[in-house]
Amino acid sequence: MSQIRFLLLQVPLYALLLFGGQVTINHIKGGITVGSRGWIRMRAWSRIGVLVNQLRLLLDAQLQESIEHAEIADIGKDNPVVQAMLDLITKDGLAGT
C-alpha cells in the first residue's frame, strides 16, 4: 500500500482529476472520489469537483464538435479550455504566471 501511495504522489492531483476517470462529489460530507470504483478519495471542496467535471464536459464538447464536422480540433495556445487544463496540471492549481 505504501508503494501505491508513493507512486500517486508523483502524479499531479489535477491530472488525476482530469484524466483519472469518473469524478464523484460528496456534497454532504465533502470530498471527491475518482474512478468508477472510487479507487482514489481526496479531501477537497465540492466546488473543485464541480469545476473539474465542467472543464471535462467543455473539452468533450469541443472534441465531439470536431468529430461531427470532420475537422482538426483547435488545440493551440489560444484555446481557453486546453489552456486551463494545462495550467491546472503544470501549476497544480496554483495561480500565477
Domain extents for the chain? 11-91
Please indicate whether residue 72 or residue 38 has the higher confidence score (pLDDT).
38
Q: What is the mean pLDDT of the chain?
A: 80
Q: Among 18-22, 37-41, 73-77, which is the least confidently predicted range?
A: 73-77
For residues 12 and 25, is the Cβ–Cβ distance under 8 A?
Answer: no
Q: Nearest 5°: CA angle at 45, between 39 and 49?
A: 55
pTM (2 d.p.) = 0.74
Residue 46 pLDDT > 70 = yes
Q: Which pLDDT score is estimated for 5?
A: 53
